[in-house]
Amino acid sequence: MHEVDIIERVIRNIAHEVRNPLTTVKGYAQLLSQKNEPALIVKSQHMIIEQSERIDTIFTQLYDAFTVIDDDRAECTFPEVLYTVVEESPYSEYITIERNAQFRISLYVNRFQQCLSSIINGFNWKYFSGASLHINALKDLHCIVNISFSGVVFDSIPEDIFYYPFQCKQFFSKGTELFKVYCIAQRSGWQFTFLKERNGFTLEIPM
């Protein structure tokens, strides 16, 4: 896909997300200018503040997604590095890690753990109460981390633009979690892929 097309889709995606609260703000601002009823004034002020905060949250989430932490490469061991993230998650009971291989690798450990955390903790576990997550890591020419969900089907996520901001709000609480992982992967030289047929994702890390 051409860079111009990508930029256009990102802008359209963000504009769609911001337009709804802006429309609400405009509507209540017009009411304030037309009527002088105390109850309506209070309600309008409340709605304008609420929707303004919603817009602020949208841009805060985007800024956070674009922000990739500085990190130094360090040696770590698989699958132990996976357990570090999973054990700190409030949803650890729904996650299994396959211990099919043990190996050491040099990578941006903090960034990698941030990617895992975004996927694990960002997923809407409360809505998809029967879901579970399986993680395994394999060492070949690259380190390939497979992250597969069960009990939920990502049928509405387009394969070519899954990482766009707010594209996955149906499944992830903020909607920017996968976009954040994509940004981290791009800055770190990794490949982040959505595998629709496997209902999950892979992170491919050069050795």
Domain of residue 99, CATH code: 3.30.565.10
Note the pLDDT of residue 12.
82
Together in a domain, 99 and 177: yes
Check pLDDT > 60 for residue 188. yes
Together in a domain, 62 and 78: no
Q: Report d(CA 157, CA 149) in Å as an integer.
A: 14
Supply the range of the domain harboring residue 9.
3-66
Together in a domain, 11 and 87: no
Domain boundary among 49, 66, 83: 66
Q: Are 79 and 195 in contact (CB under 8 A)?
A: no
CATH number at residue 46: 1.10.287.130
Categorize the per-residue pLDDT at 3 as very low, low, confident or very high, splitting at 50, 70 and 90: low
Q: Are 149 and 131 in contact (CB under 8 A)?
A: yes
Note the pLDDT of residue 175.
85
Domain boundary among 66, 96, 114: 66
CA angle 174, 177, 179 (to 5 degrees): 120
Categorize the per-residue pLDDT at 140 as very low, low, confident or very high, splitting at 50, 70 and 90: confident
The rounded mean pLDDT for the chain is 88
Q: Are 44 and 29 in contact (CB under 8 A)?
A: yes
Together in a domain, 79 and 106: yes
Together in a domain, 41 and 100: no
Q: Report d(CA 207, CA 204) in Å as an integer.
A: 9
Lowest mean per-residue pLDDT among 6-10, 23-27, 79-83, 93-97 = 6-10
Categorize the per-residue pLDDT at 144 as very low, low, confident or very high, splitting at 50, 70 and 90: very high
Together in a domain, 94 and 52: no
Categorize the per-residue pLDDT at 31 as very low, low, confident or very high, splitting at 50, 70 and 90: confident
Together in a domain, 105 and 47: no
Domain boundary among 44, 66, 88: 66
Together in a domain, 116 and 148: yes
Note the pLDDT of residue 131.
96
Together in a domain, 77 and 131: yes
Check pLDDT > 90 for residue 95. yes
Cα dihedral 75/78/79/82 (nearest 10): 40
* pTM of the model as a whole: 0.83
Together in a domain, 88 and 143: yes
Together in a domain, 132 and 197: yes
Give 159 or 27, the one with higher predicted confidence.
27
Check pLDDT > 90 for residue 7. no
pLDDT tens string 32-87? 888 778 888 888 889 999 999 989 988 888 888 788 888 888 999 999 999 999 99
Together in a domain, 55 and 82: no
Would you call 168 helix, strand, or coil by DSSP? coil
Q: How many folded domains does the chain comprise?
A: 2
Q: Report d(CA 157, CA 172) in Å as an integer.
A: 11
